[in-house]
Amino acid sequence: MTIHKEGYKSIAISVIIFGLINILSFYLISYAAPILCWLIFLATLGLLIFIVSFFRIPSRQLTILDNSIVAPADGKVVVVEEVMADEYFPDKRIQVSIFMSPLNVHVNRNPVSGEVVYSKYHKGKYLVAWHPKSSTENERFTTVYNHNGKEILVKQIAGALAKRISNYLQVGQTVKQTGEMGFIRFGSRVDLFLPLHANVNVKIGEMTKGGVTVVATW
């Protein structure tokens, strides 16, 4: 396991705060209230461990398959349905949505290899990530990939706790399947919009692993 670059600053700040709180606790209350001092230490240690784990990149055997669309994120499948596309595409698509809790790995990965043909940031609200309107009203970053003439759209969507979406791709860039697309901080959602002829392999309630789980084939 390694730590993602997005976490360096947050972890450094967290370590400093952890140290300051516990130094003050030791000198000010350890003699009068040792149990409280230990409770503060354990609580702040737990929070520090959570912050570090949030930015983790676990070691995985990633899935590289030309005819497959792999999960761009860890999380739970909350939507699998046919919808009218609201951006870029003028027709119906299959929407597959993956909800990422704060406990999930938050690295986002390219679902396919190909060329980035569209990339756009949208300002928006911070509705809870599982809200039906979060896909169209929340802050989000949209990316479209062209894989051998076939296109899919991916939305990185901020949730109620997510206040920063990072996207590393640019229009015209050629990317590899499972390479890093971006990162979303603290609870979020990723939507895939697939062509109607795609064969979806996941169901609502199923857990996915980013870069590993095959969401669909074409």
CA angle, 212 then 176 then 109, to 5°:
45
The two structure tokens encoding residue 193: 């919009």
Where in the sequence numbering do the catalytic residues fall? 188
Question: How far is Cα 40 from Cα 17, in angstroms, rounded to an integer?
Answer: 12
Handedness of CA 164, 111, 153, 207 (dihedral sign): negative
Query: Bridge partners of 76?
Result: 99, 207
172-176: long-range contacts (C-beta < 8 A, 24 or more apart)?
172/115, 172/116, 173/115, 173/116, 174/114, 174/115, 174/116, 175/110, 175/113, 175/114, 175/115, 175/116, 175/145, 176/110, 176/113
